[in-house]
Each structure stands twice: as C-alpha cells, then as structure tokens.
Amino acid sequence: MGCRVILLAFFHNNDLRNDKAGTDETVRRLKEVAPKAEKAGVILGIESWLSAEDNMRIIDRAGSPAVQVYYDVANSTERGYDIAKEIRWLGKQGQICEFHMKENGSLLGQGRIDFKKVRAALDDIGYRGPMQIEGAVPPGGKLIESYIANVKFLREIFPVDA
C-alpha cells in the first residue's frame, strides 16, 4: 500500500494507563510485529493518552526503531502534559514519527493549544514531516469549511517553504 507510518491507537479501557497486563501484552505484540515493520521500512506509531515517559517505556521494551510515537497535541494537552517539553524530549531522541494537529471542538488556533509554541518545539527538533488535521471542527461547524480554515491556519504557522 505504500504506507510509511501505521498509526496504532490505544484508547480502549483507559488507554493502558495503570494497566500492567495490557501494557505487557502490547509490548509482546509489538516485539512480534516490529521486525516485520523494520523489514518493510514501516514505522508503527503509538497514539495514546500516555505521557512521553510512559510511551518511551513501551518503546524501550519493544526494542525496535520501527516503534515510535504518533504525537497528538490535543490528547496530550487534555491530559495536562507540557506538550512543548514532551515534543522536544521525544523528538531529540528521534521518537516522533508524525503529528496530529488537533483541537477537540474548536478550529485550530481557537482552542487551548498554542501552536506557535508547538512550531518552536518542532523547529528545535528539526521536524519537517507530516502533520494530520483531526478533530478540529467547532460545535455546529461544517466539516469542509472547518478543514479549509484549519489548513489556512497551519500554513500560516508552518509555511510550506520554511
């Protein structure tokens, strides 16, 4: 299919937080599939509500460069994590494969996330990869119009030629 990154979302039953058995099973499965991903040149991107440190514990246990974090700025903000600090910490270790640029229930730039700080953190780690827009539609908003506004906003913060 030509996919470079496969998103692995962990949100069921409290997202592996405080779930040793679930985390152990996740690591077991990652160890099983990661060599195949490595051989295919594919990254397995973990998206979750876990902190950067908790994600790194899973990545370290999986023991494969094919397992990385698919960082979602809204998920981490909602959990109270310092997203700029997490992005820098994970990014300097080469552990972020892609980003979800998201505001739950708002257009990008009109919610809780300071995208200028996100831009600064991405600049600090030299990230120039894909960013996916997700969940950035206000209540009663229209999907197409919202995404047009979101793309315009992101292009102002992250110009294509920068």
Question: Tell me, what's the pLDDT at 17?
Answer: 79
In which domain, by residue range, is 13 found?
A: 5-157
In a domain, 162, yes or no: no
CA neighbor of 55 nearest in space, from 73, 71, 77 = 71
Handedness of CA 129, 37, 44, 101 (dihedral sign): positive
Count: domains in the chain: 1
CA-wise closest residue to 83 among 73, 93, 92: 73
Residues of the chain with pLDDT under 70: 1, 12-14, 161-162
Does residue 58 lie in a domain region? yes
For residue 96, give the amino acid letter: I
Of 47, 71, 55, nearest to 23 by C-alpha is: 55
User: Locate tokens 């999907």: which residue?
Assistant: 143
In terms of Cα–Cα distance, which of 151, 155, 157, 153 is closest to 121? 157
CATH of the domain at 103: 3.20.20.150
